[in-house]
Structure 1
Amino acid sequence: MINNLALRITEKMLKSGGISEEEKELYIYGLFMIISQVMFFAFSCALGLVFGCFVESVIFYISFAAIRKFAGGYHAATEARCEISSALSLLACVGVIRLSKIYDFRTALLCAAAVCAVLIFAFCPLDTPEKPLGEKEFKYFRKVSCIILFVICSAIIAAFVFKVKLVFVPCCAALVLEGVLITAGKAQRVLGGKKKRFF
């Protein structure tokens, strides 16, 4: 759906002479990324309004989007699967944020976030076979990933010490989700490599 929308917009820009044929693929990709980010941010905000945790949902999505952009992670085989899995992941995380208002599981969440932070540090940046990173890109993405990871971890520790759940829970949820995705992406790469070798 998002890709079709990006394609239609790009085609209109091409017909109007705004871009050249050589720039078409670049614009499709760029528009796809922008539209998907806006749509999922809006979805996260909507969930926050429904569950009564709007501010936390905004903090969660910004934190997650930042680390995900540079650290990478699992990519679904099709656009439909990607959209569905992304929506379900956001729903699960906002659900956890909502539950944190009822139950106190800060210690468990802190432990989960710590484990996921280690996984992110170990595996980032995780590129894709379709768009592999060059040596300079790899170093740049790793550096930025580590900086963002450090900032989020610092926010989590400070929020835990001073008991600021408004920041603590969404930042933990962001790290846990990215930790799961980057681990799944790494497993996908390893298993994919084995299949290519044996079949």
Structure 2
Amino acid sequence: MTEKIMENVWKGMKTTGNVDEEDKEIYLFGFYQGLIFLLNLVTALLTGIILDMFLESVLFLICFIPLRIFAGGYHAKTQFRCYVMSTVTTVILLYLIAFLQKNMGVEAIALYIIATCIIWKLAPVQDKNKPLDLDEQKKYRKRVHSLLIIISCISGCLYFWGIYVVPAVVVCVVCQLSIVLIWGKLKNHAHGCTSTV
């Protein structure tokens, strides 16, 4: 079924653009990955709407996606497992964000500092399907560090102004990402795949 759909997609690509047959797998892989990303995005936003937390879901995606792209970390073995895990995690994190907006205290800040240090030290954590050379690792690490500094400054300022939604989102994003990186690091260690930076 999927093969038939992808074959029709390829035919459509060939009629609308200048694409080479030898690049078919690359184009179809990119198209498929784009669809999966879009599905995850729409699901996260719909979850936010259902829980009456649309703003929080948008802020979560804005903070999480760039960090996740450059930091790497654990990846599920199948797209379906990834989708289920992402959906369940989104629901849990949205509830945590709601809780933290009313209960942002010293514990949350301490947790944020610890999680930030973990990301700062570990990122990027490569995956066996996406190995990174030395230059890419340095470039990705620098981007992760820059993003952490930016979101920390913004959320810190908003916290002191009494606006807690962004700090709550940032605490959850950073804590989740630190777990994903540790998990990815452990998975790599178990499979003998290590980072050189």
Give the shorter-chain TM-score range: 0.7 to 0.9
Q: Is the 8 A contact 1:7 1:28 kept in 2?
A: yes
Q: Cα offset for 1:193?
A: 1.8
| 1:172-194, Cα deviation, whole Å (9 max, x unpaired) | 11111111101110111112229
Q: Distance in 2 between matches of 1:155 and 1:98?
A: 19
Any conservation in 2 of the 1:116–1:176 contact (CA below 8 Å)?
yes
CA–CA distance in structure 2, aligned partners of residues 52 and 155 of structure 1: 24
Shift of 1:124: 0.8
Partner of 1:76: 76
CA–CA distance in 2 between the matches of 1:144 and 1:36? 24
Distance 1:17 1:159, change over 3 A: closer
Name the aligned partner's letter for residue 158 of structure 1.
C
Q: How many Å apart are 1:162 and its aligned residue?
A: 2.0
Structure 1's consecutive aligned runs of 4 or more residues displaced over 4 angstroms after TM superposition are 3-6
User: TM-score scaled to structure 1, two decimals?
Assistant: 0.84
Q: Which residues of 2 match residues 17-56 of structure 1 at below 5 A?
A: 18=17, 19-56=19-56
Distance 1:91 1:15, change over 3 A: same
Corresponding residue of 2:165: 166
Q: Distance in 2 between matches of 1:116 and 1:5?
A: 44
Q: How much is the aligned-residue C-alpha RMSD, in angstroms?
A: 2.5
Residues 114-157 of structure 1 show CA distances to partners (whole Å, capped at 9, x for unaligned) of: 21111111111111122211122122111111111111122222
Which consecutive residues of structure 1, in runs of 5 or more, have no partner in the other structure?
Answer: 195-199
Query: Does the 8 Å contact 1:6/1:32 carry over to 2?
Result: no
Stretches of structure 2 lacking an aligned partner (at least 5 in a row):
none
Give 3-state SS (helix, strand or coil) of 2:129's partner. Answer: coil
Distance 2:147 2:43 in 1: 23
Larger mean CA deviation between 144-153 and 21-30 belongs to 21-30
Give how far 1:8 is off.
5.1
What is the alpha-carbon distance in structure 1 between the residues aligned to residue 4 and residue 179 of structure 2? 29
Question: For residue 91 of structure 1, what is the aligned residue in structure 2?
Answer: 91
- Give the residue type in structure 2 aligned to 1:96: L
TM-score (norm 2): 0.85
Change (3 A) 1:56 1:4: farther
Percent identity among equivalent residues? 24
> How many residues were matched structurally?
192
Q: How does 1:1-199 map to 2 (within 5 A)?
A: 7=6, 10-13=9-12, 15-16=14-15, 18=17, 19-101=19-101, 103-193=102-192
